[in-house]
Structure 1
């Protein structure tokens, strides 16, 4: 039966029937489902067993005697009621909708009516020459059994499908792939500018802190700052930045000075010849001056010695 029929707060007993129910069907909802379902199920089996025993017992009496027909009638009636009763018990045990149980109960009731008709007609007016209601009994029983079989079959299929469904604990969560988003340089730059609008930082990258400022009025204290008021001298230099860089390199040391000349070899040769010619002229002038000095400054004695070749 459905969950709506189960009373709230009812404690279910713990016995063999409930253990069987939990083992083969599931957790019971109501004790009525368990007791009524197993009662009909085992009642159908008991009717089938008694029907078999009575059918065998009929052979102990003389053929076509009254006890013989009585045992046969009871055994056939029990056998006809055993099958729908057993199927209705299974239908009650299964956790199905009430409509399926009502259909099965209606089919079982039709079969019982057919069994009553069989008991009235058997043996002299059932399936003999001139019998008029045999077909009515058979058709009624077939319709009732069809309802019971269809209801039970649908309930069994629905129960197996329900058991095959995975429970919440059996379902593994699916990992959804993370969406891949792409941003352009303009969007990134705009986001950075929006985030930095409310931030006040200094050039050092440290957030500006509005602290407490201290103010000192030293003039009121009587300090003399006359000697500290020195006018700064402005020094200018005519050298360029390149000259200063070269000077720094020279002070650093390790710099090799390389003198280069823009004159060619012919110019150097010409200057060398001019220098030689000048030196030659200077030497001749010096000799002439020395000779003139010697002639004018030696006197008569010297000239007589030279003439007489007296050393």
Structure 2
């Protein structure tokens, strides 16, 4: 049974912790600005102890797991928002107190990149809806037409309608402007269908960053086949995005997910726009088609769901309908 956290509202408490990488230098300045930005929107914001940016992670795995567990179990905290991703959040997934979490009411957990490593099992194991969307450092950026901010999705019961923004952007470096609120516009793009001219598909959303969640396949923390079986009546819409690995590595990871049964109950696959490198003999799109083309599933490329901003937030567990034709490129998410 899926459980959706209560709608977020001004005055609610948002907790900041770093399950993966912490903050230092200009990054720490961006975190301070983003915390103040949230407070200016009317939220109460508390910052945890696991925030140190001097190493690969913000603290030892046991401390990070304990702080994240405590925040998610605290009934006064309505949302947990990491500053960004990192490299090795996988080291804490088996240290979270899953028994304590299973008896708690759901809390919004929001982020992407390495945070996908935590979002996925919180949804598949606990049945909590989680949000693949802007992390803390990206939250102050203005949302372009067609998209909604993660706060809008977390604040309402839906249905949430978003459409192709047509925008390709990038970040402003923290050293350049730690208080930036406008994306750098670097071009235009559009969602692309492979092999068919139109699409209307419905299913429960689940997915994340390929490089991080691929390591969960075949474990208790990445049992997407079981999640699909639980929701076989609705089916799944699986979304995936590559951060930085070259196309051959992404191809191997996607084959691994396929062999692990992740797509057995899928009705469609969504692929995020990426700046990750091609291989001399294979592009990123060819990597996807090599691994997943044989599934005979509709694949939508170039959505704003990853490491190329702006960001289209997706709720793991939401019932989504994706519609694409000559005039429409839209995704609707229902929290039910």
**Shared fold per TM-score greater than 0.5:** no
- TM-score normalised according to structure 2 size: 0.18
Q: Using CA pairs under 8 Å that are at least 6 residues apart, name the structure with larger relative contact order, 1 or 2.
A: 2
- TM-score normalised according to structure 1 size: 0.19
Larger radius of gyration: 1
Query: Would you tell me which structure has more helix in proportion to its own residues?
Result: 1
Query: Would you tell me which structure has more strand in proportion to its own residues?
Result: 2
